Amino acid sequence: MAKKKDQEITFAPKGIGDEKDGAVQKGVDLPAPTKKKHKALGLSEEDLKAMYEQMYLQRRFEERAMQQYQKGKFGGFLHLYIGQEAVSTGTVFALNDDDDIITAYRDHGWGLCRGISANEGMAELFGKKTGCSKGKGGSMHFAKTENHFWGGYGIVGGHIPIGGGLAFANKYNDNGRISTCFFGDGAVDQGALHETFNMSQLWKLPVIYVVENNGYSMGTAAKRHTVAEIVDRAKGYGMKSAVVNGMDVFSVYEKMNEIAEDVRKNSEPWFVEIRTYRYRGHSMSDPQKYRTKEELEEYQKIDPIERLKTYLKDNKILSDDEIQEINDKIEQEVLDAVEFADNSDFPDESELYDDMFVEDDPYFHI
Amino acid sequence: MAELQFREAIRDAIDEEMARDEKVFIMGEEVAEYNGAYKVTEGLLDKYGFKRVIDTPISELGFAGIGVGAAMNGLRPIVEFMTFNFAVLAADQIINHASKAGYMTGGQITCPMVFRGPNASAGQLGATHSVAFDSTYAHFPGLKVIYVSEPDDAKGLMKAAIRDDNPVLFMESEQMYGMKGEVSDEEDYIIPIGKGKIKREGSDVTIVAHGKMYHVAKQAAAQLEKDGVECEIIDPRTVKPLDLPLIIDSIKKTNRCVVVDEAHPFAGFAAEIGFLIQREAFDYLDAPVQRVTLPDVNAPFAKNLFDAWLPDAKNVIDAVNQVTYRN
Ligand SMILES: Cc1ncc(C[n+]2csc(CCOP(=O)(O)OP(=O)(O)O)c2C)c(N)n1
């Protein structure tokens, strides 16, 4: 006879982290930021200014995008990256320009960082032919392959093997390039990640897999969807790993630089967990009932853009006025982009059939 | 009769079946604490607890398969996919396992479960979020496929699906969750799977349309009526099993047919209906069967291209004009 327990049966998720008074708690801690100053990291004052401009551009671009979305200028999903700008910026500055980057649908920051102009980005959101993907991709599918940005992908975890494939081709061609593949914490629960990790390690692919752990997979706190610290997934594959503070651009830069060098030298995959936070809802339709205002405010206190700004001022690299000047310039760039997108044409109806194999038979057309 | 939204009609059906049968449970991404991505499962966690309303990680293949195993072992799972576009990751469990286990074991295994969620496009979500899968799954033996167009059908057919001993794919449309309709308040309201419905009577042409396309056909019929063309609209409601006699009887009356389908043209639902009609009612046809489908191209994002891509009432009117030789 089977034994029966008296306990109530429940399939409530119980993952990492604690639950206090029924409130969702942080599942993980943010590692301390690097203590190194910019010179020790090999960053010039010009680099710092460029980093600041880039992060500020990402933020303003998305704030304006949100406004345009609310005005009904475009439809579809809009997943904002606000809060996570240090991850894209720190990484892009750490990599070579011809290293490959691929990411999920939260991709605007990545695209801008990899040379998609505000104009091309905004036009893509508006679905215009002047957009980086000719208006055919929208928010989730920014791409600029000439700059080795392979795009945003809409199926959670679907692009993880593709990141491995980019690395496979780089190794095959022995071109010295490495590939980096970014995804959210929710994606680590997909089988695709596990199959890809195993093969990457078997074949020693030159790739860095990076989970941007922003604490939430849609409405599910990381601690409710994953049973161990995410970075520990690397252990099962004997893969090198690291945890990084993603609210500090220097920390991201430092770690990604070191790791990229290691990958280039040894052709071995890494799994990196960059801990960060998203300030906005998962997408525009998310009421965000799953987290507290206090939690959000805690992270806003360590905002990556404010942090760099303070550094620039404290180290007398930029004055308040100079920062204001940069901000104004970028604000103008973004406003111009909105105007550019608004004034651009939609793709011609005939373009519906471009860019893929389509049956010639008119019965297969509209 | 009560006026209900789609999401309420589906929820009521699930709620009633959960109350009736302890073996019924629901699981999927965000179904419990978040109350469902499209609020279909709102309130169910409060009522049934974490034992029977279960949040899953984003692991489609895993949780669909856990559903299959649980069904084989005596439970009656309802597996929610946030959309059927994501169920592609679970296709192995649905196609290779749920549909075949009974046959391969000489009937030792049954797999009584429902896979449900929105199907097809939801407006400018791009190529990976806009595919209609009802024809695809109907291709495989052993699976029943339902794609509803009105809340009343949703209620009655969901209850039937949960009670069915086969794996059933129950498809909804993200764009229709808020749409209201009269729903029978008959106690234990069940619509048998495989029974279509004449949703509009007419004498000039038969339009076969299901799911979101039913509403497109309805719009077209209203306009055509002003021109003196009376369309009969048949909603098969279930793609498989298909209520072929209902369609054939209608064609014997109208002698003309247009099939409106939200999937791509090649080897799809519309192609199949065209074949079946020529086999069963060739002598009754006054014109070749026409179909209105998506083009053979992926979903574009740009609004103008998307609007051109998705079949609309004008496409249906053009097709009706062709079969009635009224160009
Ligand atoms: C295979 C698949 N399942 C479900 C979804 C719906 N979905 C889109 S984003 C998302 C949450 C993903 O969260 P995470 O990976 O942590 O990334 P983040 O949004 O935090 O950047 C879900 C469930 C999807 N797009 N693809």
Helix segments in chain A, DSSP class H: 38-41, 45-70, 85-94, 108-113, 118-125, 160-173, 191-202, 222-225, 249-266, 293-300, 304-314, 320-343
Buried-exposed string B18-49: b where 16+ CB fall within 10 A, e elsewhere:
beeeebbbbbbbbbbbbbbbbebbeebbeebb
| Residue A232: exposure state from Cβ atoms within 10 A (0-12, 13-18, ≥19) | middle
CA B8 to the chain's CA centroid = 17
Q: Any chain B CB within 8 A of the CB of A220?
A: yes
Averaged pLDDT for residues A157-182: 98
Atom of ligand 1 nearest to the CA of A222: 16
Q: How high does pLDDT run on average in chain A?
A: 95
**What is the Cα–Cα distance from B124 to B97, expressed in whole angstroms?**
33
Q: Mean pLDDT for each 10-residue chunk of chain B (327 residues)?
A: 97 98 98 97 98 98 98 98 98 98 97 98 96 98 98 98 98 97 97 98 98 98 98 98 98 98 96 98 98 97 98 98 93
Chain B residues whose beta carbon lies within 8 Å of the beta carbon of residue A12: 32, 50, 55
CB B155, CB B101: distance < 8 Å: no
Mutate to test the pocket of ligand 1, among B29, B31, B58 (most ligand atoms within 8 A of CB): B58
**What is the Cα–Cα distance from A154 to A160, expressed in whole angstroms?**
12
Compute the half-sphere exposure of residue B113: CA atoms within 13 Å on the CB side of its CA.
32
- What percent of chain A is modeled with pLDDT above 90? 90
* Residues B135, B84, B51, A27, Cα dihedral to 10°: 160
Question: How many Cβ pairs closer than 8 A exist between chain A and B?
Answer: 152
Torsion over CA: A270, A271, A275, A278 (sign): positive
Q: Do B57 and A217 touch (CB under 8 A)?
A: yes
Is B264 a known active-site residue? no
Nearest residue on chain A to B121, alpha-carbon basis: A76
Chain A residues whose beta carbon lies within 8 Å of the beta carbon of residue B59: 189-191
pTM summary value = 0.96
Task: Give the closest of B37, B129, B298 to A356, CB-based.
Answer: B298
Among candidate residues B16, B29, B97, B129, the one labeled active-site is B129
Structure letter (DSSP) for residue A347: P
Torsion over CA: A59, A65, A71, A72 (sign): negative
Task: Please write the tens of the pLDDT for every residue from A116-165.
Answer: 999 999 999 999 999 999 999 999 999 999 999 999 999 999 999 999 99
Task: Give the closest of A76, A219, A364 to B124, CB-based.
Answer: A76
Structure letter (DSSP) for residue A230: G
Peptide bond into B245 cis (omega under 30): no
Q: What is the pLDDT of residue B31?
A: 98
- Would you say residue A90 has pLDDT above 70? yes
- Would you say residue A1 has pLDDT above 70? no
**What is the Cα–Cα distance from A114 to A143, expressed in whole angstroms?**
9
Task: Please write the tens of the pLDDT for every residue from A245-296.
Answer: 999 999 999 999 999 999 999 999 999 999 999 999 999 989 999 999 999 9
What residues of B are in the A interface, CB distance below 8 Å?
Answer: 27, 29-30, 32-34, 37, 49-51, 54-55, 57-62, 85-86, 88-89, 123-129, 265-266, 295-298, 300-306, 308-309, 315
Mutate to test the pocket of ligand 1, among A110, A181, A217, A233 (most ligand atoms within 8 A of CB): A217
* H helix or E strand, kind and range, residue A217: strand A216-217
Among A27-31, A86-90, A327-331, B81-85, the least confident range: A27-31
**What is the Cα–Cα distance from A365 to A363, expressed in whole angstroms?**
5
Q: What is the pLDDT of residue B327?
A: 72
Q: Number of helices and strands (H, E) in chain A? A: 12, 10
Distance from CA of A200 to the nearest CA of B (A): 21
**What is the Cα–Cα distance from A328 to A331, expressed in whole angstroms?**
5
Q: CB of A106 closer than 6 A to ligand 1?
A: yes
Q: Do B126 and A290 touch (CB under 8 A)?
A: no
Task: Please write the tens of the pLDDT for every residue from A7-29.
Answer: 899 999 888 775 666 665 555 78
**What is the Cα–Cα distance from A151 to A238, expressed in whole angstroms?**
29
Tokens standing for residue A134: 């000719």
Q: β-strand B231-235 against B2-5: which pairing, if any?
A: unpaired
Among A159-168, A196-205, A217-226, the least confident range: A217-226
Torsion over CA: B171, B176, B182, B188 (sign): positive
CB A137, CB B124: distance < 8 Å: no
Nearest C-alpha neighbor of B64 from the set B89, B101, B31: B89
Our CA angle for B89, A125, A111, nearest 5°, is 75
| Residue B163: exposure state from Cβ atoms within 10 A (0-12, 13-18, ≥19) | middle
- Would you say residue A327 has pLDDT above 90? yes
Q: What is the pLDDT of residue A218?
A: 96
Q: What one-letter code names the amino acid at A137?
A: G
Tokens standing for residue B42: 């709102």
CA A261 to the chain's CA centroid = 21
**Cα→Cα distances B222→A34, B215, B219, B315, Å:** 68, 11, 5, 14
- CB atoms under 10 Å from CB of A359, counted, come to 15
- Would you say residue A208 has pLDDT above 80? yes
Is B29 a known active-site residue? no
pLDDT band at A308 (very low <50, low <70, confident <90, very high): very high
